[in-house]
Amino acid sequence: MSNKIYIFDTTLRDGEQVPGCQLNTIEKIEIARQLEKLGVDIIEAGFPVSSPGDFNSVVEISKAVSNPTICALTRAVKKDIEVAADALQYAKKGRIHTGIGTSPYHIFNKLNSNPDEIIKRAVEAVKFAKKFVEDVEFYAEDAGRSDNEYLARVVEEVIKAGATVVNIPDTTGYCLPYEYGEKIAWLVNKVPNIDKAIISTHCHNDLGMATANSVSGIINGARQVEVTMNGIGERAGNTSLEEVVMTLRSHKDLNFDTDIDTTQIMKTSSLVSTLMRMPIQPNKAIVGRNAFSHSSGIHQDGVLKNRENYEIINPADVGVKESSIVLTARSGRAALKHRLTVLGYDPEPAKMEEIYTKFLDLADKKKDITDEDLEIIAGRAKTAESRPLELVSLQVMCGKELIPTATVQVSFNGDIFTETASGNGPIDAAFSAVKTLVKRKVRLEEFLVQAITRGSDDLGKVHVRVEHKGQTYYGFAAHTDIVTASVESFLDAIGKIQ
């Protein structure tokens, strides 16, 4: 048996059934072209009888791509098959995917039929499809809950009728991985003509086991997997293409592979997500924004020593530039030092400690520390020893109907001085207290506040310009508390006065 696993992508058919995520033909063509670049073997382009839009998409996708086989879905109904064949007229390689339900639920409740009648209809559909195309795939809908003895009979008959691929869908995502694997192994062992067709998996993710079931199917004899990009699809979705492909790539021991160019995975994933307006969950395997980011100190240290300590996939292999080290309150010195080096800082050990303390202090106040934050922390650490005036504590009281009052404690050459003052706002009050404390006649000439980046937990930057005896002095500080930043920047400027 061959070790190549055929990738049958149904993003544009089963994936597109997600409510609110419908694509127009132009968007479908763009995705189909990207799927071709990704290297999928088969693109299921639509269900032509379902709507003129679906019909048109199958026609246009057939014209737009050359390498993958273009597949069109039908029920086991003559009209569906004729319309599908018509839609596939421009396909370089066309496949009709026809089928019928084989579980007791489908046979008796949905189709109001009986097992023999279902086999008859299945065989007729395959024979009819064969009149139009050589490549006919048969799906036994709800095979996951179908009786294995009966399923083997269906599969044998449709292969006799000419089916080239037999699809065993776990339509409701009910199977356990060992159970689904056993179902495939059962067909491999019991169906006498099974070597005349390829067995395909088609697993849904209702219990979160679609990927595990598909891989189990492969291990037990399936050679085609039906998947969607980002795992999109009805309800909890379909098997995700990237998960199966990277499982096979990572587990070389299984000795299976696909023709997928994995470096195109991220690009394809983003395109599908954007065009379908369907965000990807951050922790989604392979393509989630956190899939290659490390935030705990132990993991960051491990990854910096050797990427493989905590990563089983090289991010570059799936088209992600590099793993990211997210600096948070849980990050250690190694990660901080690494980031500072990338930013061009090389602090001495003592300075590093000072920066690390400030970093932890800031990280406790805001979630993620950005490069801009680090520049500020590191830049400030560089000049700390040249600051004669340091803010020790600051307390302000302000609000509607209150007189703004500030109590400021400042250290000057090791001695602590305290002063309280009021003003027309908390900053004015704090500045008055500082002026009284330093016993100098200083005039504030400019005061500029800037938020550095995004949310309300971000650092605020304050620049001040003060005048003393005809000379100008500049001060700067950054802090998550804008009043503290203001007082520190004021002290920074005053500290420069000789």
Residues that bind Zn ion (CB under 5 A): 14
Q: Which is nearer to Zn ion, 14 or 301 (CB)?
A: 14
Residue 35 C-beta: closest distance to Zn ion, Å: 17
Tokens 């409740």 locate to 109
**Bridge-based pairing state of the strands 6-9 and 224-227:** parallel
* Encoded amino acid at 138, one letter: F
Residue 152 C-beta: closest distance to ligand KIV, Å: 18
118-124 long-range Cβ contacts below 8 angstroms, 24+ apart:
118/154, 119/153, 119/154, 119/157, 121/76, 122/76, 122/154, 122/157, 122/158, 122/161, 123/157, 123/158, 123/160, 123/161, 124/76
Which of ligand KIV, Zn ion, none interacts with 141 (beta carbon under 5 to 8 A by kind)? ligand KIV
CB neighbours of residue 385 within 10 Å: 9
171 near ligand KIV, judged by CB under 6 A: yes
Retrieve residue 281's tokens: 């969950």
Strand partners, 170: 203
Which of ligand KIV, Zn ion, none interacts with 74 (beta carbon under 5 to 8 A by kind)? none
Residue 206 C-beta: closest distance to Zn ion, Å: 11
Distance CA 143, CA 151 (A): 7
* Number of residues lying near ligand KIV (CB under 6 A): 8
202 near ligand KIV, judged by CB under 6 A: yes
Distance CA 301, CA 327 (A): 12
Q: Which is nearer to ligand KIV, 23 or 391 (CB)?
A: 23
Which of Zn ion, ligand KIV, none interacts with 139 (beta carbon under 5 to 8 A by kind)? ligand KIV
Q: Which is nearer to ligand KIV, 200 or 480 (CB)?
A: 200
Q: Which is nearer to ligand KIV, 140 or 325 (CB)?
A: 140
Q: Which is nearer to Zn ion, 242 or 458 (CB)?
A: 242
Nearest to 434 by CA among 423, 445, 449, 418: 418
Q: Which is nearer to Zn ion, 29 or 232 (CB)?
A: 232
Which of ligand KIV, Zn ion, none interacts with 48 (beta carbon under 5 to 8 A by kind)? none
Residue 133 C-beta: closest distance to Zn ion, Å: 21
Q: Which is nearer to Zn ion, 14 or 206 (CB)?
A: 14
Residue 12 C-beta: closest distance to Zn ion, Å: 13
Which of Zn ion, ligand KIV, none interacts with 156 (beta carbon under 5 to 8 A by kind)? none
Residue 226 C-beta: closest distance to Zn ion, Å: 7
Residue 233 C-beta: closest distance to Zn ion, Å: 6
Taking residues 203 to 222 in sequence order and writing x for each that binds ligand KIV by CB under 6 A, - otherwise, the string is: -x------------------
Distance CA 11, CA 269 (A): 11
Residue 40 C-beta: closest distance to ligand KIV, Å: 17
Distance CA 355, CA 419 (A): 29
Q: Which is nearer to ligand KIV, 100 or 406 (CB)?
A: 100
Q: Which stretch binds ligand KIV (CB under 6 A): 166-174, 285-293, 425-433, 450-458?
A: 166-174
* Encoded amino acid at 309, one letter: N
Residue 454 C-beta: closest distance to ligand KIV, Å: 42
Burial class (CB in 10 A: 0-12, 13-18, 19+), 109: exposed
Q: Which residue is nearest to Zn ion (CB)?
A: 14
What residues numbered 90-149 form the site for ligand KIV, per CB under 6 A? 139, 141
Residues that bind ligand KIV (CB under 6 A): 14, 139, 141, 167, 169, 171, 202, 204
